[in-house]
């Protein structure tokens, strides 16, 4: 059961702010100004603007923690507040934390390398080996909340957030924990990552028109937009939620994962791995494609991903795909890498709770005109029972989640 969630995104510093912006079709993508982008071929991204670490953590934490860990901690605190969850001595041994990230604390790693080069080894902080580790976000959350169950980092590129949630679901199902804080975080709008992904021809180069740059499922798409953010959900066993008197927001019923075993950056041309993940998630949920009412698509805005994902949805959902809304919220947030799957699961849950489906902005000329990609404006679809959220990543990582309305 999902009993709480929190988010920090280019659209806002909470779930409510992010969701309101999504329904309004507002873009969080702009010219990058937090770093020097001189000489970069790509100078746009989805930054988390106006974030004040002091609202969520003391200076001793914010000084050492990479932004990706700061965002994760802020999202976890919101999720706990939303769920009414206080980790006391009784609960602590049965509360776990799993945070996915594709890149981890890359900003801290780059800064440490530059410090070593410019100032020598004595200038390196003794916290460096901790704060530059992939599990630093998990550690900050666990220490802040006092959780004593398993805590671990998950890294499967762009599928990291979804895989972390799926792993949390399995952990509860196997009796390893009663409550899991699960989600994803990344802060990779850096010169190195913009340069590398830009050189790989994966990023949009619409530097002069940032809000129109991310164009999922549009015929004129030219790449994804690098973004940052975090989202965390509170997962609970049904009996634990009932015992706490928690409000259940939705039920996470299915999870599937797979690997393409094909290429580092390109999806399998027939979408074999993606099909396996989606089919596994539906099977895990005990449903078929005919039962899906909404798809929050991976929808990156790259030439290959969107074409392959469209073919996968047609194959797995059949005729159903032409009768339901399919949207990509990345069109507004950009691609938050490890955070994407968790943020998009939150959006899918919000759609189930409200009946409102966020749009795919910039989808002027849909690549499949028979599919409702929810172009430009949000749509109200009344009672939605089941949603599918897809996450496909570099390295051939695929993950899919199925969530059901309560």
Span 356-402, pLDDT tens digits: 999 999 999 999 999 999 999 999 999 999 999 999 999 999 999 99
Global pTM value: 0.97
Q: What is the pLDDT of residue 264?
A: 84
Cα 327 from Cα 299, distance rounded (Å): 8
Contacts of 47 (CB under 8 A, 6+ apart): 10, 28, 30, 32, 33, 34, 189, 227, 228
CA distances from 347 to 33, 77, 84, 322 (A): 27, 18, 20, 21
Active site residue 158: yes
Percent of the chain at pLDDT > 70 equals 100
Q: What is the pLDDT of residue 201?
A: 93
Q: Measure the CA angle with vertex 64, ends 98 and 36; round to 5°.
A: 100
Q: Within 10 Å of residue 247's Cβ, how many Cβ atoms? A: 13
Closest CA to 212 of 376, 69, 49, 326: 376
Q: What is the pLDDT of residue 191?
A: 96
Cα 246 from Cα 166, distance rounded (Å): 21
Q: What is the pLDDT of residue 266?
A: 86
Q: What is the pLDDT of residue 185?
A: 98
The pLDDT tens digits of the residues spanning 8-32 come to: 999 999 999 999 999 999 999 999 9
Q: Are 333 and 11 in contact (CB under 8 A)?
A: yes
Q: Are 327 and 316 in contact (CB under 8 A)?
A: no
Q: What CATH architecture is 253-404?
A: 3-Layer(aba) Sandwich (3.40)
Contacts of 119 (CB under 8 A, 6+ apart): none
Domain ranges of the chain: 2-244, 253-404
Is residue 331 scored above 90 in pLDDT? Answer: yes
User: What would the DSSP string read from start to end of 151-185?
Assistant: EEEE-BTBTHHHHHHHHHHHHHHTTS-SEEEEEEE
Q: What is the pLDDT of residue 321?
A: 98
Q: What is the fold, at CATH topology level, of the domain defined by 2-244? A: Peroxisomal Thiolase; Chain A, domain 1 (3.40.47)
Closest CA to 311 of 302, 321, 301: 321
**Same fold: 2-244 with 253-404:** yes
Number of residues written out for the chain: 406
**Strand 30-31 versus strand 44-45 pairing type:** antiparallel
Catalytic residue among 158, 188, 214, 363: 158
Q: Within 10 Å of residue 271's Cβ, how many Cβ atoms? A: 25
The pLDDT tens digits of the residues spanning 60-100 come to: 999 999 999 999 999 999 999 999 999 999 999 999 999 99
Q: What is the pLDDT of residue 168?
A: 98
């Amino acid at each position: 059961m999902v009993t709480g969630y929190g988010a920090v995104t280019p659209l806002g510093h909470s779930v409510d702010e992010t969701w309101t912006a999504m329904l309004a079709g507002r873009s969080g993508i702009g010219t990058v100004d937090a770093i020097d982008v001189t000489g970069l071929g790509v100078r746009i991204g989805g930054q988390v603007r106006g974030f004040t670490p002091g609202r969520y953590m003391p200076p001793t934490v914010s000084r050492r923690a990479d932004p990706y860990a700061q965002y994760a901690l802020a999202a976890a605190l919101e999720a706990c507040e939303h769920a009414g969850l206080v980790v006391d001595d009784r609960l602590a041994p049965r509360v776990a934390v799993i945070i996915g990230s594709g890149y981890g604390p890359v900003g801290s790693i780059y800064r440490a390398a530059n410090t070593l080069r410019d100032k020598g080894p004595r200038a390196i902080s003794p916290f460096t080996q901790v704060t530059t580790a992939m599990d630093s976000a998990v550690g900050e959350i666990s220490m802040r909340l006092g959780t004593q169950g398993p805590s671990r980092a998950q890294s499967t590129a762009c599928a990291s957030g979804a895989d972390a949630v799926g792993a949390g679901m399995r952990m509860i199902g196997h009796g390893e924990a009663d409550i899991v804080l699960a989600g994803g975080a990344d802060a990779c709008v850096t010169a190195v990552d913009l340069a590398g992904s830009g050189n790989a021809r994966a990023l949009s180069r619409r530097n002069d028109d940032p809000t129109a740059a991310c164009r999922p499922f549009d015929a004129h798409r030219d790449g994804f937009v690098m973004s940052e953010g975090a989202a965390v959900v509170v997962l609970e066993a049904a009996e634990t939620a009932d015992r706490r008197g928690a409000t259940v927001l939705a039920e996470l019923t299915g999870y599937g994962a797979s690997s393409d075993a094909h290429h580092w950056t390109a999806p399998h041309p027939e979408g074999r791995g993606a099909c396996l993940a989606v089919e596994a998630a539906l099977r895990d949920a005990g449903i078929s494609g005919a039962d899906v009412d909404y798809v929050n698509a991976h929808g990156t805005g790259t030439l290959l991903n969107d074409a392959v994902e469209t073919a996968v949805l047609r194959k797995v959902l059949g005729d159903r795909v032409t009768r339901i809304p399919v949207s990509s919220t990345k069109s507004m947030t950009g691609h938050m890498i490890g955070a994407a799957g968790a943020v998009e699961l939150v959006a899918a849950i919000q759609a189930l709770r409200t009946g409102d489906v966020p749009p795919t902005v910039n989808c002027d000329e849909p690549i499949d005109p028979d599919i409702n990609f929810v172009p430009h404006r949000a749509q109200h679809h009344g009672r939605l029972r089941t949603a599918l959220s897809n996450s496909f990543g570099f390295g051939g990582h695929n993950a899919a989640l199925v969530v059901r309305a309560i």
